Amino acid sequence: MLRIHFESEDLARITVAPSADVLWEILLGLHALQERNEEIALDGWRRRTRPLIPQSLSPLFEIAPPRGYSADFITPTRGIVTLREGIEEILATTPDQLARDFTEFARHSRKPYIARSLEARAAVRRVAHDLERFFSLALAPHWRQITRDIEAERARLVQTLADHGVERLLGTLHPYARWKYPVLEVDDYVDQDVTLNGRGLVLLPSFFCRHHPITLRDPELPPLLVFPISRRTWLGKADTDEATRGEPLEGLLGRTRTTVLKTSTAGCSTTDIARAAGISPASASHHTKVLREAGLITTRRDGYAVCHEITDLGLTLLTSTDGTPIRQQRPVQSERSSRPAM
């Protein structure tokens, strides 16, 4: 179990990352690509992406295994949306930082290829290059959808904090996280304690994070908790195919309701829908009512806020040209092994 220990000043210093973090999504995308039979919503993405990955990227997968320790130096950022900024942070990795990471690998009887064959500066440059290559092949075609889903989750967190305070925020963060003042506990995790000591905590919602919240192994690094977004939409064809996918639906639902359905994939308010479809809030409410009665979306209240979300049936309809089942399933806890810190 992961236990994060708060002091009073830590509660006042909780922040939500300002955006999707491109380096964390790359790392967790590497993890997700190596797993099988998990997170059905990612199956189509896995099938399309695996054949694109060249053998030359094998050393990158070696320092980012789906289970066990992944190198801390490849995720130095806290909400950096620009790949170039993230790569510059990685290139600034010191030999001492790299040595600490490779020492951690050695503790688990594994010595990565780049640690065996390259000196520190060359190893960092190789990793930076490979991360850029992986992003361009696996994530860039879907980056708009990924960031849209993360932004919807971020908006939910900020709204919860504003409406109900930090206790509700921590208490509803994730099904595997429990808030018992002054400790946030995370189940299905190796035994680890993180003491914040007044440093606060950055909350980072992630598209590719699976199963449960995770944190960094090194206690000296700025405290961070990465966790799966509450609803991950189907990662089907690349963004360039979105317009084509919507065309058959427009004949069935009409252009406006198709837009409403697409907008609801990331979770949204009535105002968001009205803005996306170019209609009034009253008209947006009418269209959401029709879609809700058809079982294509759901509507829930969180305080004074209203959130519309697409259902599995709606996702199936929206992605019907992909021909792949949509239903999302969470792995049964008894079938999962405990996941160590990053």
User: Residue 337 contacts by C-beta under 8 Å, 6 or more apart in sequence?
Assistant: 67
What residues form DSSP beta bridges with 177? 186
The residue among 226, 254, 281 that closes a domain is: 226
Q: Is the pLDDT of residue 237 over 70?
A: no
Please check whether residue 120 lies inside any domain of the structure: no
Confidence band of 124 (pLDDT split at 50, 70, 90): very high
Same domain assignment for residues 197 and 151: yes
Q: Contact 217/341 with Cβ under 8 angstroms?
A: yes
Supply the mean pLDDT for the chain. 82
Please check whether residue 113 lies inside any domain of the structure: no
Q: Is the pLDDT of residue 326 over 50?
A: no
The pLDDT of residue 216:
81
Confidence band of 245 (pLDDT split at 50, 70, 90): very low
Mean pLDDT is lowest, of 31-35, 253-257, 264-268, for 264-268
Please check whether residue 336 lies inside any domain of the structure: no
Q: Burial level of 35, CB count in 10 A (0-12/13-18/19+)? A: middle
Same domain assignment for residues 199 and 246: no
Please check whether residue 291 lies inside any domain of the structure: yes
Q: Is the pLDDT of residue 339 over 50?
A: no
Same domain assignment for residues 154 and 300: no
Q: Is the pLDDT of residue 152 over 70?
A: yes
The residue among 171, 196, 226 that closes a domain is: 226
The pLDDT of residue 82:
81
Please check whether residue 40 lies inside any domain of the structure: no
User: Residue 100 contacts by C-beta under 8 Å, 6 or more apart in sequence?
Assistant: 72, 218
| AA letter at 125 | R
Same domain assignment for residues 153 and 217: yes
Please check whether residue 334 lies inside any domain of the structure: no
| Domain harbouring 298, CATH code | 1.10.10.10
Same domain assignment for residues 188 and 221: yes
| pLDDT tens digit sequence for 181-216 | 999 999 878 888 999 999 999 999 999 998 889 888
Q: Is the pLDDT of residue 274 over 70?
A: yes
Q: How far apart are CA 324 and CA 182, in angstroms?
A: 44
Confidence band of 328 (pLDDT split at 50, 70, 90): very low
Same domain assignment for residues 259 and 203: no
Same domain assignment for residues 202 and 259: no
Token pair in block for residue 30: 């590497």
Instruction: Indicate the number of domains in the chain.
Output: 2
Give the percent of the chain with pLDDT over 90: 35
Please check whether residue 270 lies inside any domain of the structure: yes
Confidence band of 306 (pLDDT split at 50, 70, 90): confident
The pLDDT of residue 320:
56
The pLDDT of residue 36:
74
Same domain assignment for residues 160 and 304: no
Element (H, E) at 287: helix 281-293
Q: Is the pLDDT of residue 331 over 50?
A: no
Domain that holds residue 176: 2-17+145-226
Same domain assignment for residues 262 and 214: no
Token pair in block for residue 52: 């694109």
Confidence band of 314 (pLDDT split at 50, 70, 90): confident
Please check whether residue 281 lies inside any domain of the structure: yes
The pLDDT of residue 232:
67
Mean pLDDT is lowest, of 50-54, 262-266, 326-330, for 326-330
Same domain assignment for residues 222 and 246: no
The residue among 199, 226, 253 that closes a domain is: 226
Of residues 203 and 35, the one with the higher pLDDT is: 203
Q: Is the pLDDT of residue 38 over 90?
A: no
Q: Is the pLDDT of residue 290 over 70?
A: yes
Same domain assignment for residues 290 and 215: no
Mean pLDDT is lowest, of 65-74, 151-160, 241-250, for 241-250
Q: How far apart are CA 66 and CA 70, in angstroms?
A: 8
Q: Is the pLDDT of residue 226 over 70?
A: yes
The pLDDT of residue 54:
92
Same domain assignment for residues 213 and 258: no
The pLDDT of residue 109:
66
Mean pLDDT across 131-138: 92
Best CA proximity match to 10, nearest among 145, 179, 149, 147: 179
Most confident of 61-65, 236-240, 301-305: 61-65
Best CA proximity match to 71, nearest among 236, 238, 217: 217
Helix, strand, or coil here: 48?
helix
